[in-house]
Chain A
Amino acid sequence: MKGIVFNLLEEAIRQEHGEDVWDALLDHTELEGAYTSLGNYPDEHLMKLVGAASDMLRKPAGEIIRWFGCKSLSLFAERYPHFFNDHQSTRPFLLALNSIIHPEVRKFYPGADVPDFQFDTSSEEILIMQYYSKRKLCAFAEGLIQGTATYYREQLTIEHSKCMHRGDPHCELRISLQRLS
């Protein structure tokens, strides 16, 4: 897992819950907490932190991850505005993930294990997005999508119609968006 993810999590927790919560999470998980965006860290660090946050905030882990995804997106947008400026709404942004955004991410984080999404664009109303990753971070993806919709001021309805956590071979997200007036 790339250090940037831990930086984002720290940032999100600090902004939303205060520095003490982040310190407490580190104490609780007995992790050192010195992450740099350029480093690589074990995936289980993230799982431990999410687990600890779930206990401490009394929320299911999935919800924590979804919240984290949503929060990360706005931090991304602050840090890398040009990815967002190229598009006017969520759908084209999502469609550019595979071809433009993830390849760019790989450029400054060599070896970043970003997922490949499959899209079904046959419907104008519903964008069907397939996700597969051994990390099974579909909730994080969901949160990121939510964050994107918020960024572009769109109303998102997302149906997690298939999920690896429910035994499906991959996750399927059915996404519909409506512009907020």
Chain B
Amino acid sequence: MATQEMPRTDSEVLKRRIERERKARLSAEAIAERGMRQLYQKQQEVELLRQVAAAANEAQTIEDAMQVAVDRVCSYTGWPVGHAYILAQDSSRQLVSSVWHLKSPERFATLRKISNNTIFTTGVGLPGRVLASGSPAWIVDVTKDNNFPRAKLAQDIGVRAAFGFPVLIGKEVVAVLEFFSDTPREPDEPLLEAMAHIGTQLGRVIERKRYEEKLIHNAFHDSLTQLPNRALFLERLAQALARAKRRKNYLFAVLFLDLDRFKLVNDSMGHSVGDGLIREIGEILQQGLRAGDTVARLGGDEYAILLDDIGQASHTSRAVERIRRNLESTLTFDRIFVSASIGIALSSTGYERPEEILRDADIAMYRAKSQGRGLSVVFNANMHEQAVKLLYLESDLKRALDRQEFCLHYQPIVSLTTGGIAGFEGLIRWQHPNRGLVPPGDFIPVAEESELILPITQWALNEASVQLRKWKEQFQHCPISVSVNLNTKYFTKRNFLSEIVALIARNGFDPCSLKLEITESQIMERAESMSKILVELDNFGIKVYVDDFGTGYSSLSYLSKFRVHAIKVDRSFVSNLGNDERNSTIVRTIIALGHQLGLNVIAEGIETEKQLQFLLEEGCQHGQGYYFSKPVPEAKAVELIRANGFSELIPPPLLQSFPS
């Protein structure tokens, strides 16, 4: 230890002590000052983050939140320029200028202009660097930086230091903020750490807003086609109606479009093909429409189109023609030609509510569909009345099922040579409490449009089965058959086959006593799937008759492959026999064709002796019609069997077989 000269006087000792105290005080003050400064800075930082967080929570838009952040960071740092970019949500990965904070707008006008016009992608300039790395970047002096495209400008307007930081959702950069100072500055790590917090806060805003936007978009768009959905379409319609009220000559049209035979595509080619078709049609419909028009998917294979401000009604027919041409030139789906039925409603009818005009376009579409494929119909008021009637009918039908207002009548199928009864066609009748007996033609088509045909069919099958059991007990040695008309909709039921088999088992009759009649056109509409179903039915011994033969679109090659047991010549041919030579030729051909394929031929609608004679001459062995008997209740049918005897329906010998 070095020896020191000791102070000589007390006063010097005291002075030294005081000096030590003073130094200690100054040092303590300096430490406290540093602490105060750090505390102050921390408080400022906390306040900055609090302000940005509050703004982030309250911001109505991403831009609002960005603006607050940029403003607050500028006031916190005292730097004169702040700027936010948002990453474009497309594939370009471009940063798009969003909001600015400029202490002096005139001085920094060119910086703003040039920044807005520069394309910043990954790696380019300060924002591109931040985008590439996903972390903050600091430039001490931009005029000396070799990746700063705006360096020349910075030199001119006196911009020196800069920093940028990313706005992150997870690890993904969604926006970049940059700030500029007047003077060169060394990197400030604590500042960048605070900025990282701000980046996270802003990321939450963007994430939340994007999620909100997505939810809103999903609420108003169809997920398959991304087209507006019914809700959005009705909103646009409401706007159009409001315009129509304000402007005298303003006219718009609503098209309701439904694909013809879409179900066929779905059933025969699978749902993914069907979905593809729905999407493709959405795109086609959008082509050739104007910016103000709206195409929406309402669900299933239904679309609606709002043709806005059409000037005159004739514009609509041109637009419909264009849509039809576009559809036709594009859509031939694996040999299935897809067309659309279009219903049109015009605003000139005078509507109050958007639902009304859409409903009327829908009604017109149904009318178009009922008239054939690929047609369009403009709505008129009569259609509405009819639609209302149909609606009542539908609810009546539902009641009828509950109250058991249906009954089966039986029309005999007769051997033309012996007059014996071969079986009966079960025909449904509706005993309406007010309207009396309603003919099937007045309600079956309505039931077929809705799902009501399914319970009605089920009822008819059940009724026929019960009848077959009774007759089996009554006429033990004569297997009397009953045929039931089926709509192919029935076959889309999941367990239709097991249901039929269960009915047969429950009632204990021979499966071949129950005949199913399906119209030729319905079979042909879904030839592929029907072919399989017919095989299954045949395997169970259930016989199928082709109803209304000759009226549909016949494919003889298909017919030869189908497992059917009889064809029923449509009544329109039979009733015209003798009046028209060509008609006679058709009947002659059908009979010959049936026999050649080993099928029974049953002539429907025989009313005269003359018709019977013709059919007998052509070798037709069975028939039905008023000539023999009208459809009759059960008791009367039993009398007919007793009076005329039984004559089994045996297929003719196969004359020539076709390759199967």
Q: Which A residues fall within an 8 A CB radius of B?
A: 36-38, 99-100, 103, 106-110
Contact = CB atoms under 8 A, between A and B. Distances in A.
Chain B contact-residue range equals 10 to 19
B78 A110 contact: no
A74 to B, nearest CB: 16
A56 to B, nearest CB: 22
A103 B77 CA distance: 11
B41 A36 contact: no
B40 A107 contact: yes
A102 to B, nearest CB: 12
B34 interface: yes
A108 B36 contact: yes
A109 B37 CA distance: 8
Nearest to B34: A108
Contacts of A38: 29, 32-33, 36
Interface of B: 25, 29, 32-34, 36-37, 40-41, 78
A109 B78 CA distance: 19
A107 B78 contact: no
Contacts of B34: 108
B40 A110 contact: yes
Contacts, number: 25
B37 A107 contact: yes
A54 to B, nearest CB: 26
Contact of A99 (B29, B40, B41, B78): B78
B33 A108 contact: yes
Given A107-B37, A108-B40, 11 more contacts: A36-B25, A37-B29, A38-B29, A38-B33, A38-B36, A107-B36, A107-B40, A108-B33, A108-B34, A109-B36, A110-B40
A103 B78 contact: yes
Contacts of A36: 25, 29
Contacts of A107: 36-37, 40-41
Nearest to B35: A108
Contacts of B41: 107
Contacts of A99: 78
Contacts of B78: 99-100, 103
11 contacts: A36-B25, A37-B29, A38-B36, A100-B78, A103-B78, A107-B36, A107-B41, A108-B37, A108-B40, A109-B33, A109-B36
A106 B37 CA distance: 9
A108 B44 CA distance: 13
B635 to A, nearest CB: 110
B77 to A, nearest CB: 11
A38 B30 CA distance: 9
A158 to B, nearest CB: 28
Nearest to B44: A107
Contacts of B25: 36
A104 B555 CA distance: 96
Contacts of B29: 36-38
Given A100-B78, A103-B78, A37 B33 contact: yes
A13 B636 CA distance: 139
B78 to A, nearest CB: 7
Nearest to B33: A108
Contacts of A110: 36, 40
Contacts of A109: 33, 36
Contacts of A37: 29, 33
A174 to B, nearest CB: 26
B328 to A, nearest CB: 74
B310 to A, nearest CB: 63
A36 to B, nearest CB: 6
A100 B77 CA distance: 11
B197 to A, nearest CB: 21
Counting chain A CB atoms within 10 Å of each CB, which of B33, B36, B41, B78 scores highest? B33
B511 to A, nearest CB: 99
A108 B35 CA distance: 8
Contacts of A106: 40
A36 B33 CA distance: 11
A38 to B, nearest CB: 5
A99 B40 CA distance: 17
B140 to A, nearest CB: 15
A109 B41 CA distance: 12
B112 to A, nearest CB: 22
A37 B29 CA distance: 7
A113 to B, nearest CB: 16
Contacts of A103: 78
A70 B32 CA distance: 26
A28 to B, nearest CB: 21
A13 to B, nearest CB: 14
A122 to B, nearest CB: 17
Contacts of A108: 33-34, 36-37, 40
A103 B76 CA distance: 11
Counting chain A CB atoms within 10 Å of each CB, which of B29, B34, B40 scores highest? B29
Nearest to B28: A36
Nearest to A79: B30
Contacts of B32: 38
A107 B25 CA distance: 20
A53 to B, nearest CB: 21
Contacts of B40: 106-108, 110
B643 to A, nearest CB: 119
Nearest to B41: A107
B43 to A, nearest CB: 9
A99 B556 CA distance: 97
Contacts of B33: 37-38, 108-109
B9 to A, nearest CB: 16
Nearest to A104: B37
A79 B37 CA distance: 15
